[in-house]
Amino acid sequence: MKLGAAFAMGLVIGLAILGIAGRGAGDDGPETPIGPRWWPSQWGAGDQRGAANRITPAHVKQAAGLIREGKIYSLGRVYEHGMPLPGKRHFSLTIPGSPTGGPSGKNQGVYHDDLFSGEIGQIGTQLDGLGHVGVRIGGDDYFYNGFRRSQFGTAYGLEKLGVENVGVFFTRGVLADVAAARGVERMRAGEVVTPRDIEAALKARNVEVREGDVILIRTGHGRLWMKDNEAYGAGEPGIGIDAARWLSDHKIALVGADTWATEVVPPEDPEHPYPAHLHLLVRHGIYNLENLDLEEIARDHVGEFAFIFAPLRFKGATGSPGNPIAVR
């Protein structure tokens, strides 16, 4: 090839690369393992809160207005020895000495301390933060808003996307009791929750999903918790990728479920495990809340409620434990 032709070819290729690199999240962009490039975020290239930005003062006031009876539903599980733990995760809580200290002084006071070890943000009732999952592209791992692991991942906490950035969830919540809508006590592992399932469940409670909402999906799988832990952890019903897209289209802030992954396991496509995690957390900054107890709120046929949850502010953590509550 002549020098002039080679230069021209190189110029064309270079311009093409620059054109691709300059496209935004809403354009076709370069392909990744989960589709077109998803960054920068609609909330800016430096944003670390994702869909939590949708919870505005107006949403808070609207949620507060839903509290009419003053009944509180505790949606979190008890953290205890023997609870279901996915994979090789562990939980341990001990009291160092009993009492740990004392007695002291003339009033002879004694006290107990707690010693905990475990994957603090990924056991029991847990919020998946935006630093929890990412996608390998080339030689690096890309997370929400295009943040690369090589730039923020350390052994002593994430320097970006730590759960301390999330803030407080105080917004309208809706319950989609898919098991009830299907007329079953418990869906089976591997059964896919579809957009039609969600719509039917919401229609049964005469509610709809709005921007900034939290939607909680009941499959009945939670009935196995601490009753048949082996079956609980072996697989689960849950949302498929179509339902995940439906949720992101409705611009929710968070999705939760009475399962350990929220999405269906085994996956619809064995070659694409946990696609809903990647679609919601990575592409859209929508949070995932797992291992919820939705039995009482379902028995009371609650449709909408005030949802309140404050993730623990562990700097650099990938998630948070806690006890979300619903109030109606």
Q: pLDDT at position 10, please?
A: 43
Structure-block tokens of residue 85: 């733990």
Phi first, then psi, for residue 12 (nearest 5°) are -60, -45
Residue 5 in 3-state DSSP? helix
- The residue written with tokens 């341990």 in the block is 92
Q: pLDDT at position 87, please?
A: 85
Phi first, then psi, for residue 287 (nearest 5°) are -80, 160
Alpha carbon distance 272, 135 (integer Å): 12
Q: Measured in Å, how far apart are the chain's first and last C-alpha atoms? A: 74
Domain 48-83+120-327 has CATH 3.50.30.50: yes
Q: Where are the domains of the chain?
A: 48-83+120-327
Alpha carbon distance 94, 96 (integer Å): 6
DSSP 8-class letter at 78:
P
pTM: 0.90
User: In which residue ranges of the chain is pLDDT below 50?
Assistant: 1-29
Q: pLDDT at position 30, please?
A: 61
Structure-block tokens of residue 68: 């009419």
151 exposure class (CB count in 10 Å sphere: 0-12, 13-18, 19+): exposed
Alpha carbon distance 328, 68 (integer Å): 6
pLDDT tens-digit map of 190-202: 999 999 999 999 9
pLDDT tens-digit map of 302-317: 999 999 999 999 999 9
Question: Please, what is the average pLDDT of the chain?
Answer: 92
